[in-house]
Every structure is written in structure tokens, then in C-alpha cells.
Amino acid sequence: MTRVWYERDLRVLQAIVQLKDENPGQPIPREDVAETTGMDEETVRRAIYSLMDEPYLETGGSLIDNHEYVKRVLGNGKRAAEFWPTPDNVAELLRDALLQAAEREPDEEKRGKLRALGAWLAEGGRDTVSGAFGSMLGTLLGG
């Protein structure tokens, strides 16, 4: 079932987030998602129906008469599509930024420290940073 997430549902969710970003406030018809993903409409319909369970999406129309559309992508959906930050992807971005900064740093001592921090994140420190960021997000969001 993990394969269905990556091959169908995540691709559909990412396409919907992209379309909503390009057309803010506009409902996104299933046909537009099918065109964007290159999937047939029945596959997109099944993905949308699946994505409503988390919930990742708010839909309108009717799944039965083929006039359904996506009204909104909820916060969980934006995080799952990596459109909004999550503790894990922030830690990965930080690691990548540190390693890139190390490559540009002319001072050898600073370059070594940046590489060490990046390596620490890559080798397990990511969980520590991810946990700290998750706590911070929880506090900011009132959780």
C-alpha cells in the first residue's frame, strides 16, 4: 500500500497543491488534476477519495456524477506534499544549507565546522533538530 501513496496519492496531492497555488481561491476540477498528473480521471478520483480520509482535502460537488472538485488543501495536505514545513524537511533543509555553506566558505576552520554540523545532521542529529522544531511548531500553533 505504500506504493499507492507514492505512485498515486502523493502525486495527485502535489498536483492539487500546485494548481491551488497557481489559482488561489478557485475550485480545482478533477479533470485539471488528471491533466496535470497525466493520470486518467478514474485514478485521480480514487486518489482524491483516499486523500479525504486523512483529511488532506476539502472537496465539493459529487463523486457520483463526476462533478467533484477540490475546494481547499488542508494543512495536513500541504505538509504531506512538502508545501509547508515539517520538522523532518526543515532538518533536511538545514543540513543541506550547512553543507552548501561549507563548500562556499573560504576559511578552512569555519568550513570544517560547517561540514561537521552538516555531517552530524546527516548521521542522526536530524532527529534532535526535528524534535526541537516539532516542539517549536507545537508551541507556535498552540499545541
pLDDT given for residue 65 in this prediction: 64
Average per-residue pLDDT for the chain: 85
pLDDT score of 84: 74
> How confident is the model over 77-87, as a mean pLDDT?
79
3-state class of 56 per DSSP? coil
What mean pLDDT is predicted for residues 69-73?
Answer: 90
Give residues with Cβ within 8 angstroms of 121, minimum separation 6.
91, 94, 95, 98, 129
Q: Which pLDDT does position 143 carry in this prediction?
A: 56
| pLDDT the model gives residue 12 | 96
Decide if pLDDT at 40 tops 90: yes
Q: Name which CATH class applies to 2-80.
A: mainly alpha
Q: Which of 34-43, 68-77, 87-96, 116-125 has the lowest mean pLDDT?
A: 87-96
Q: What is the pTM of this model?
A: 0.65
Residues 39 and 44: their CA atoms lie apart, in Å, by 7
Q: Is 140 exposed, middle or buried (0-12, 13-18, 19+ CB in 10 A)?
A: exposed
Whether the predicted pLDDT of 2 surpasses 80: no
Neighbours of 44 (CB within 10 A): 24
Domain boundaries, the chain: 2-80, 87-140
Summarize pLDDT for 83-108 with one digit per residue, the tens: 776 767 777 778 888 889 999 999 99
pLDDT at 138 over 70: no
